[in-house]
Chains A and B, each alone.
Chain A
Amino acid sequence: GESVGLHLPTLSVQEGDNSIINCAYSNSASDYFIWYKQESGKGPQFIIDIRSNMDKRQGQRVTVLLNKTVKHLSLQIAATQPGDSAVYFCAENSPQAGTALIFGKGTTLSVSS
């Protein structure tokens, strides 16, 4: 079936380090991918997205890499800060899914100072 998964449930880093959060997807027809951040007591917050015609996209302190050959997505956070501590989800969309997003199970990022 269609699913999006993250490789690690938790990731602990020191403040100032670079963080890499990984995600594997199984549907080769997926053409749109999003990373979300969810803080305690809040809904998911959009971080960055990428379409399948790209392999890299950069935002402010964040970069998303897409490797369609191995169906892998990653989120890189530069100079990680304590405020980056949250649960991170990748999500995918495919033409078959219409407007629905399929979410992975999330990685909890803990940043210590």
Chain B
Amino acid sequence: KAGVTQTPRYLIKTRGQQVTLSCSPISGHRSVSWYQQTPGQGLQFLFEYFSETQRNKGNFPGRFSGRQFSNSRSEMNVSTLELGDSALYLCASSFGTTSGSGYTFGSGTRLTVV
């Protein structure tokens, strides 16, 4: 069975630009959560989408946004990129019926802002 697929794997962007990352969940999973991973802050929760609705949100500025499509694929967007946005962005999918459990993570998108 296919795992969680994140595209692209690597991105280099310039400060001030915007970026869109994509996540295709495991078939049947309706929940997609996004996390930011940096050496300094570790893994931090960005937001979760379930059935095309944002169900939960972490403490990130409004420049970070997301959406989910009817096929459960999700995208996250970061506008007006800052150097500090350089990170590994991970998405995780699950059935979404039990809080915090059943996550399967993708391999991430490595974003570098220069």
Which A residues form the contact surface with B (CB < 8 A)? Answer: 32, 34, 36, 41-46, 49, 89, 91, 93, 95, 97-106
Contact = CB atoms under 8 A, between A and B. Distances in A.
A100 B33 contact: yes
Nearest to A100: B45
A102 to B, nearest CB: 7
B90 A32 contact: no
Nearest to A41: B107
Given A44-B43, A89-B43, A106-B42, A101 B100 contact: yes
A46 B103 contact: yes
B48 interface: yes
Given A43-B106, A43-B108, A98-B56, 7 more contacts: A44-B105, A45-B105, A89-B43, A97-B45, A97-B56, A98-B55, A99-B94
**Chain A interface main SS type:** mixed
Contact of B105 (A32, A43, A95, A99): A43
Contact of B42 (A42, A93, A104): A104
Interface string B19-42: 000000000000101010000001
A8 to B, nearest CB: 15
Given A42-B107, A98-B55, A100-B58, A93 B90 contact: no
Interface in B44-92: 44-45, 48, 50, 55-56, 58, 90, 92
